[in-house]
Amino acid sequence: MSTVSLKMAVQSLLRTRGGVHPPECKDTAAMPIQTIPTPTRLYLPLKQHIGASAKPDVVPLQLIRKGQILAHSQGSVSAHVHAPCSGHIADIVEHPAPHPSGLPMPTLEIENDGRDDMDEMPVAKHPHMLEPEDIVARVQAAGIVGLGGATFPSAVKMNLGQRKIVDTLVINGCECEPYLTCDDRLMQERPAAIADGIRIMAQALNIVGVPDVIIAIENNTPAAIAAMREATAGWRHVEVAPVPTQYPMGAEKQLVRFLTGREVPATKLLADVGVLVQNVGTAYAVHQALRDGLPLTHRIITVAGDAVERPGNYEVPIGMRVSDVLAHCGLRVDPARVVMGGPMMGNALSNPNAPVVKGTSGILALSADELKSAAERPCIRCAACVDACPMGLLPVTMATLLKSDKLDEAMGIGLSDCISCAACSYACPSNIPLVHYFNFGKGEFVARREAKRKDEEIRRLIEEHRTRVATVEREKAEAAAKRKAAMEKQKAEKEAA
């Protein structure tokens, strides 16, 4: 056993918890990235990120150029939306969102004129030598969000480096979800661009010194590891670290714990332990924005699943409907389920007209054979879920508490720390939809908190209403008294005269 794999084995033993090994199904890893031509209509949701919805700057029928900002970010956590093609705004409509509910959200509908008249962003001559604030501003102007799936606005994340001491930048190349290979292919085909993006992001964190950079890649993708090693050969502070193939290795907290041994306390951020994690796709987007002046308007997605005729990795414009993507790739059979994202944490789409958004890493058209649809059976208390949980929680206990609505007790044993990775549901031999219970519980917790906030607001409004009514009545009474006094005075004067 070589020293590298020995080190990894020891790290695995000491620094990982739980995890599962679902079948990889990564046949698309060998397929080069292809480009899908921009369709005639694009649907750009105004909110493709965590935070506040962007506010449109355009009106229907307005002509637009490729790369133009169509909607500006609002508030401190938000991101711009740019045009992936030239043409005009057909309408601003309520269009189905790529969300498990399938509910609509405000969306810009764009008619593509096929000319691709481009507005490029201004680029600096040496973007990796800019001031950190300048890099963050440029990243924000490009509308970049975390492309690993969480879609947290990247500029906000990079700004954390200004407020907290970040000594390690982890580049996440672990694609632990089955089927997905878009990051793997990106690293194999465009390692130099990713490396450049990493260099720029490291410079953005160069406040008290250059941070150490660890590029973490799962050891089932040796071609990507080799490509990234070659692209960063001879760079100081940069290390390519192969990590064991296991789900959920690509989850931030798990990855950081494995690489650095640092664990994030509950309710704290990774930046609190001095680490920032960025996806390789994000690094590529940063490179494109700062070197080539291209805002985030396209991304690479994996299209896979048994129902797909021509699976593979495709570079698609953001805003393309899933149905259009599947039409381009062809369908062998009618898919039993269309999933956006990976099979573990992705969303089953109820409406295939939902568009590809910034956070879409893949589209899976699954056939009936691929779905695990066995009926739920009673819990046999085998604790397979406890062994699988990467956060060290007790899924079986939390689910039992949630079944009887004991929400506070479930929160008390760490429901808020659940990362919804679905490793417990995968491990359960009784097919209990454990992660569904936790999503329900966390949603209900938020709903109660919101309800309490509204109750407080209502009490304040009632109090203000009472004060207002009392003031109006007092003023009326005072005015009446004044009138009466004046009348009496007049009367008295008359009588005196």
Interstrand relation of 298-304 and 275-279 (parallel, antiparallel or unpaired): unpaired
Residue located via tokens 């039409």: 327
Decide if residue 452 touches other proteins (CB under 8 A).
yes
d(CA 285, CA 144): 7
Q: Are 482 and 476 in contact (CB under 8 A)?
A: no
Reference 356, options 308, 321, 404, 391; nearest CA is 321
Q: Considering the complex, state which of residue 59 and residue 375 has its C-beta at the smaller distance from other proteins.
A: 375
Residues 6+ apart with CB under 8 A from 165: 207, 208, 274
- Token representation of residue 474: 């007092």
CB atoms within 10 A of CB 181: 30
Contact stretch for other proteins (CB under 8 A) within 62-70, 139-147, 198-206, 460-468: 460-468
Q: Are 316 and 299 in contact (CB under 8 A)?
A: yes
Among 447, 470, 477, 480, interactor with other proteins by CB under 8 A: 447
Residue 87 pairs in a beta bridge with 64, 112
Q: What is the phi/psi pair of residue 384, to 5°?
A: -60, -35
Among 37, 75, 100, 392, interactor with other proteins by CB under 8 A: 100
Contact stretch for other proteins (CB under 8 A) within 100-108, 145-153, 182-190, 489-497: 100-108
Q: Considering the complex, state which of residue 310 and residue 453 has its C-beta at the smaller distance from other proteins.
A: 453
* Binding characters for other proteins, 466-485, by CB under 8 A (x = yes): --x-----------------
Q: Considering the complex, state which of residue 96 and residue 305 has its C-beta at the smaller distance from other proteins.
A: 96
d(CA 345, CA 355): 18
Among 458, 479, 480, 492, interactor with other proteins by CB under 8 A: 458
* Binding characters for other proteins, 361-390, by CB under 8 A (x = yes): --------------xxxx------------
Q: Considering the complex, state which of residue 451 and residue 479 has its C-beta at the smaller distance from other proteins.
A: 451
Contact stretch for other proteins (CB under 8 A) within 64-72, 107-115, 440-448, 472-480: 440-448
Q: How far is CA 441 from CA 324, 381, 399, in A?
A: 35, 21, 9
Decide if residue 105 touches other proteins (CB under 8 A).
yes
What SS3 class is residue 414?
A: coil
Contact stretch for other proteins (CB under 8 A) within 229-237, 272-280, 432-440, 478-486: 432-440
Contact stretch for other proteins (CB under 8 A) within 18-26, 162-170, 189-197, 401-409: 401-409
Q: Are 320 and 351 in contact (CB under 8 A)?
A: no
- In the complex, minimum distance from the CB of residue 407 to other proteins, in angstroms, rounded to a whole number: 7
d(CA 277, CA 271): 9
Residues 6+ apart with CB under 8 A from 83: 44, 64, 65, 66, 67, 68, 70, 110, 297
Q: What is the dihedral of CA 7, 10, 16, 22, to 10 degrees?
A: 80
Decide if residue 115 touches other proteins (CB under 8 A).
no
By rule CB under 8 A, what count of residues binds other proteins? Answer: 43
Q: Considering the complex, state which of residue 367 and residue 430 has its C-beta at the smaller distance from other proteins.
A: 430
Among 406, 411, 414, 417, interactor with other proteins by CB under 8 A: 406
- In the complex, minimum distance from the CB of residue 289 to other proteins, in angstroms, rounded to a whole number: 28
- In the complex, minimum distance from the CB of residue 354 to other proteins, in angstroms, rounded to a whole number: 12
- In the complex, minimum distance from the CB of residue 406 to other proteins, in angstroms, rounded to a whole number: 6
d(CA 19, CA 385): 10
d(CA 333, CA 302): 18
Among 72, 88, 99, 332, interactor with other proteins by CB under 8 A: 99
Q: How far is CA 137 from CA 52, 67, 210, 286, in A?
A: 18, 17, 19, 12
Contact stretch for other proteins (CB under 8 A) within 101-109, 114-122, 356-364, 384-392: 101-109
- Give me the residues that bind other proteins (CB under 8 A), please: 97, 99-101, 103, 105, 375-378, 402-408, 433, 436-437, 439-440, 442-444, 446-448, 450-455, 457-459, 461-465, 468
